[in-house]
Structures are given as C-alpha cells and as structure tokens.
Amino acid sequence: MSQLSHIKNIEKAQQEIERKMPLMQSAKMRQRYHFMAPTGWINDPNGLIFFRGQYHFFYQFNPYDANWGAMHWGHAVSDDLVSWEHLPIALAPSESYDNHERGGCFSGSAIEHDGKLYLMYTGVSKRGEGFEQTQCIAISEDGVLFEKYEGNPVVTAPEGYDSSNFRDPKVWEHDGEFYFICGTKKDNLAQALLFRSWDLIHWKFVNVLYESRGELGYMWECPDIFPLGDKYVLMFSPMGVHERTTVYLVGDLDYSTGRFHPIATGEIDWGFDYYAPQSFRDDKGRRIIVAWANAWDWMPWFKDWGPTFKEHWCGSFAWPREVRLCADNTLQFIPVEELQKLRCGEMRTENLIVNSGTYYNLEAGDGIAYEAILSINLTESTADRFELWLRCSDTHKAVVHFDLAKSMMWVDRDNADGWSNGVSRSAIRLKDKSTLQIHLLVDQSSVEIFTDDYHTSHSCNIFAGSSQNMNYITVPAGTLYIDSLITWGIGSTSERS
C-alpha cells in the first residue's frame, strides 16, 4: 500500500519533468559541463556512491518549480563523472513521516549492503504547527527503484534534542559495523551526533561526535566524516558563521568513545556558491567531494538564486574535487581529472610578460566554457597586484584580484552580469613561494578559481550571457611574469535521459 503512493508520486513528478524538458532546449543559462537536474530546482548532492561500476549522484530536487519546495531525490548515473544519464526519481514524498509540503525527503547518503543499495535520508513530517525530522531508509535491489522501509523512521532525535533540527545522515561502514552522523543543535550550538548499527535498521546513539562552542555556528548541515591517509576528516556546512559556508577539520576519530579530536582546520571554498559538499570513495581509491553551487537565503550576503528561474530551472553542482591530505594536515581540493576528456583547442604561451597598464587577452576556447592554468613567477614579477577580468563585455566583468603584497585574493561580481553582487575574500599562502598557480574552471553561469596549491578556492555563479566572452589579465603597476599559461575550451557534456 505504502509503496503504491510512492510509485504514484514518482510517476506524477516524472510527467512534470517530461512536460518541462522541451523548455530546456531554449534555456540559455544552462551549464555546459557542470551537473544539473533535467529541469526544476536542485540543491544538495545526496547519496553519492560508486555502485556496480557506475557513479550515482542523487540530489535534492523539486521537479515542480525552479524554487525550493517539497524535496524529492533526483538520480543520475555516469561512467566517468562527465556524461550523465538521468534516471527516474528515487524518492518522492509519500508517507506521513516524509510528506511535509515544505520538507519531504531531505538530504542523506547511500551505502551498499548485501549487494543492495540503501539510502538513508531525513524525512520531514508535520508536527503540530511545526515539523519533525527523523532518519529513514529506502532499499533498492537494482539501484534504480527504491522501496521505503516499512518500519520507517529508523531513528528519531535523542531525548533532549530539537527534532526540528535533526537532519542529513551520512552513513559508512567500519570494522563490520555501520555508523552515521547527522547535524543537530543544542542550546543554540551545533553538534554532530554519532549512531551505530549492525544492520542499518536498528540504531543506537553513541555520542556527540563533535560540537561548536560558538565559533562554529548554531547548526551544521550535511556533516560528513571520512578517513584520509592516517587521519579522519570532518566537514560540514555551518549556519551562523558569517562567510564560512564549508568548514573542514582534520583529526582522529576514537571509535571507542565516539569522539572526534581535531588537530587542524580550514575552509573548503570561500566563494558565494559552494555549499553542502558530500564525499564518497570511488573504485580508483579517490575521496571525491561534490557540492551544490548556490547559497541559502539565510546567508549574510544572499540576494537570490539567480535569474535562471525564468528558464524553469535553478542550480548546478560544482565540478567534483579530489581531496588530498598534506603533511601539515591541511587539505587540497583538486578538480577531478576527468574534465580533460572535454578539453579542446589547447593553447600554450610561455614566458609571458604583462606590463603595467596593459590588458593581455586571455584566449581560451570560446571565452565562455573553458579551463586555464597560469603559473605566475613570484620571484621575477615586480607587480604587487594583478587582476583577471573574466567573462567581460564592454560593460560587465567579474574581477579576480590578487594582492601579492598582502597575500589576499578576492572575487568581485558587483558588475559581473547586471544581476549578481558581492565580493568574496580570502588569504592566500605566499610565504617562501616562488610560483603562484591559478586554475580556472569557467562555465556558462559559473567560475571556479583554484589557487594556493589547491588549498584555496572561490566558486561563484555569474549569469553572464554568451556575449560576455572576453577574458583579460591586467596589471595596475609593475610587471607580471607568467612562466606558462595553458588554456583549453571545454566541450559540452551529453545529457541523456
């Protein structure tokens, strides 16, 4: 009976997708190579997993509107993280525990068990005037059709916790037992709670894995913990820490106490549009993270989700990044190499000198979807500052400033496209460095800038139309020596459905 209403709601949502799909043909702001839902609204990546030889992405999805609403789980598979095939919706709101009209099936994760694919997600249900969040399970034999477990919910908020802030389970296996952490808040401080199970159905609360003492906000969304080298990484998207949207901590996880002990911390991305990253391990042994490339209305700088709602869609994922642990326990986030498959029209310039007051034309593909790697020679350069002007027309440009004297960078999109605004800022570590490498991934509606040996990145959406296709390097004073500049056009991915 219960599975029937789930199937019915999935079918209804599929019809809505079919109805809107033709509109995507004329949508001019669609990304060319970043992952998107077929139509409608997308937010967090969910249930990322390499299962039976394929990458599976699930995601927070509203097929009915280009705005957030009752959450479904969209689903797509890929052989290479580049070309995606959209599959039927995996989860739709249908049960008393997950059918709140401003809730539904919230974020969660996936795990393989006994050859089956398990999804663990947060069900949001009505509770009096408010709502309640509980953890639920859905199981699939074939990795396509999911049946919600009849005993759902499998976990409710422990005694003394706020059940309206108890969400986003991330599940994993260790030494033959299952664990998940989820985000919650207590006394207005964020916590990650740890649970343990032997079968993914019966769960026991273990401990508060880690908590904010105020410095890390009042609620953590989408917490994730994973082993990397000889350490564990805890990452989360904190609410209430100003510009910080994605924080990581490196340390040790003590399974006997269920406590995490950090020794280093950092930021995953400083841009305006990088939130709720989730990690998974693939068959090549890589730890990959994927984030939603947008922001929430409660963030201090938030204006809106961009103009794409006019085209009946909203949102994309940032390009997947491989996480690497460095000797000093900081992390690098490196765009996965699969993008090389889409590279075309390589251009290489060596020993380039950009003099003060000049504008070097950064030629890269069609100037809209491209990749570029610049190696700045810090020893030879006399310029204290330089700028990259991206996606320019005569009237608009996104400006990336590098201040070498102050070891700072910032991305200014106040005049980027007549729509977006804000300046994202961060430090860069230049001490004792002779080279500064900058890696750009630019797509129809976004820029991702990696620098500082992949320790620092800024991901920002800009809704620059196709006539904004010029890109420059400019230096206000002094001379900039660029040892090498390599650019590629990036071809479009084929979206099948």
Please list the active-site residues: 44
Measured from the CB of residue 184, what is the shortest distance to ligand FRU in angstroms? Answer: 11
71 is an interface residue for ligand FRU by CB under 6 A: yes
For ligand FRU, the binding residue among 95, 98, 132, 221 (CB under 6 A) is 221
Residue 6 CB, shortest distance to ligand FRU, in Å, is: 19
Alpha-carbon torsion 461, 462, 468, 473, what sign?
A: negative
Find, among 287, 293, 291, 317, the residue nearest to 305 by Cα: 293
Q: Closer to ligand FRU at the Cβ: 43 or 468?
A: 43
Indicate whether 132 belongs to the interface with ligand FRU (CB under 6 A): no
C-beta of 296 vs 472, nearer to ligand FRU: 296
Q: Per CB under 6 A, does 98 bind ligand FRU?
A: no
- Please report how close the Cβ of residue 2 comes to ligand FRU at its closest, in angstroms: 22
Please pick, from the candidates 39, 43, 279, 457, the single residue that binds ligand FRU as defined by CB under 6 A.
43
CB atoms within 10 A of CB 257: 12
Query: How many other C-beta atoms can be found within 10 angstroms of the C-beta atom of residue 127?
Result: 12
Sites for ligand FRU among residues 222-241 (CB under 6 A): 222
Structure tokens belonging to residue 437 = 């490498």
Quote the CA–CA distance of 246 and 249 in Å, as a whole number.
Answer: 10
Residue of 9, 31, 39, 60 interacting with ligand FRU (CB under 6 A): 60
Residue 183 · residue 219 · CB < 8 Å: yes
Rounded CA gap, 248 and 489, in Å? Answer: 32
Give the HSE-up count for residue 436: Cα atoms under 13 Å, Cβ half-sphere: 26
Q: Give the dihedral of Cα atoms 23, 28, 31, 33; nearest 10 deg.
A: 90
Report whether 489 contacts 344 (CB < 8 A).
yes
Measured CA angle at 188 (ends 241, 273), to 5 deg: 30
Does 44 bind ligand FRU (CB under 6 A)? Our answer is yes
If the CB atoms of residues 83 and 164 are measured against ligand FRU, the closer one turns out to be: 164
Q: To the nearest whole angstrom, how small is the minimum distance from the Cβ of residue 273 to ligand FRU?
A: 12
Q: Which of 75, 148, 167, 455 binds ligand FRU (CB under 6 A)?
A: 167
CB of 292 to ligand FRU, least distance (A): 6
Q: Return the closest-CA partner of residue 135 out of 151, 116, 117.
A: 151
- Residue where the block lists tokens 């010029």: 470
| SS3 labels along 126-165 | EECCEEEEEEEEEEECCCCCCEECCCCCCECCCCCCCCCC
CB 62 to ligand FRU: min, Å:
9
- Closest to ligand FRU by CB, 221 vs 224, is 221
Total binding residues for ligand FRU by CB under 6 A? 13
* Whole-angstrom distance, CA of residue 178 vs CA of residue 113: 10
Q: Which residues pair with 234 in a beta bridge?
A: 225, 249
Residue 136 binding ligand FRU, by CB under 6 A: no
Q: Which of residues 273-302 bind ligand FRU (CB under 6 A)?
A: 275-276
Q: Which is nearer to ligand FRU, 98 or 412 (CB)?
A: 98
Q: Please say which residue, 72 or 458, places its beta carbon nearer to ligand FRU.
A: 72
Q: Select 123 or 367, whichever has its Cβ closest to ligand FRU.
A: 123
Q: At a CB cut-off of 8 Å and minimum separation 6, what does 90 contact?
A: 47, 58, 73, 74, 75, 119, 138, 140, 144, 146
CB of 412 to ligand FRU, least distance (A): 25
Beta partners for 173? Answer: 178
Give, as ranges, the residues between 101 and 130 that touch ligand FRU (CB under 6 A). Answer: 106-107, 122
Q: What angle do CA 374, 438, 495 make, to 5 degrees?
A: 100
The site string for ligand FRU over 429-468 (x = CB under 6 A, - otherwise) reads ----------------------------------------
Q: Which residues bind ligand FRU (CB under 6 A)?
A: 43-44, 60, 71, 106-107, 122, 167-168, 221-222, 275-276
